[in-house]
Amino acid sequence: MVLVTGASAGIGAAVAAELAARGAVVLAAGRDPAATERVAERTGAHALVADLTDPDAPSALAARAVNEHGRVDALVASAGMGWRGSLAEMPVDTLDQLIALNLRAPLVLSRALLPGMLARGRGHVMLLASIAGLTGVASESVYAATKAGLVVFAESLRLEIAGSGVGVGVVSPGAVATGFFDRRGAPYDRRFPRPIRPALVARTVVDAIERDRTDVVLPRWLGVAPRVRALAPRTYRRLARRLG
């Protein structure tokens, strides 16, 4: 039984489809009732509607999933939103929404579902971060901060529950060909790197769960950027300013 958030579209919908194709029972959670139901009908998943920017929604979603379906063996926290622009001009309510959806909701869901996983001695928490959380991105400081928070949360939780039988993983993709960029208020305008398909991210996510892989950057070559940032930060910043 796998709970997938953000399952009404994009990466979440692709993950729900990939899991269902591999025989998993999927609880597809999304904010848009009609879109979530369409994904459920297409994949055989159970549709759960929740707006995870609501402070009470993550706990309520976890409780509903367990109460209606008995248990949750794995969480895939893929719901997220972005915003591009100057921090000085960013509406505070938008800042709050990014933190609520991208960071707080995965943490609360993990907190709510972890006791059952620990009691059974098996389970998985899989978080969708971003290359932005490993490197930083100009004009996306809040988004990058929320994704960086997921990376450090995962590492800390992994150390905390080591040996429990519960895995904790993070997949950090680069640009993905979804409606994310339209919703963030600015289209993806780079010629390189080209956005990857959500189906590729979904396969990577499910493989990471099955193989208990802890940290995956997609595509793999993008992993060079955070390594350069760590080893030669001044050089990295010069390159980042030049390349945008």
| Closest to 150 (Cα-Cα) out of 108, 188, 106, 114 | 106
**Which residue type occupies 56?**
D
Q: Which residues contact 217 (CB under 8 A, 6 or more apart)?
A: 131, 134, 172, 173, 174, 223, 226
- Residue in the structure block whose two tokens are 């928490």: 125
Contact (Cβ atoms closer than 8 angstroms) between residue 199 and residue 153: no
The catalytic residues are 143
How far apart CA 141 and CA 196 sit, in angstroms, is 22
The DSSP result for 157-179, as a single string, is: HHHHTTTSSEEEEEEEES-BSST
Yes or no: say if 11 and 197 are a contact pair by the CB < 8 Å rule. no
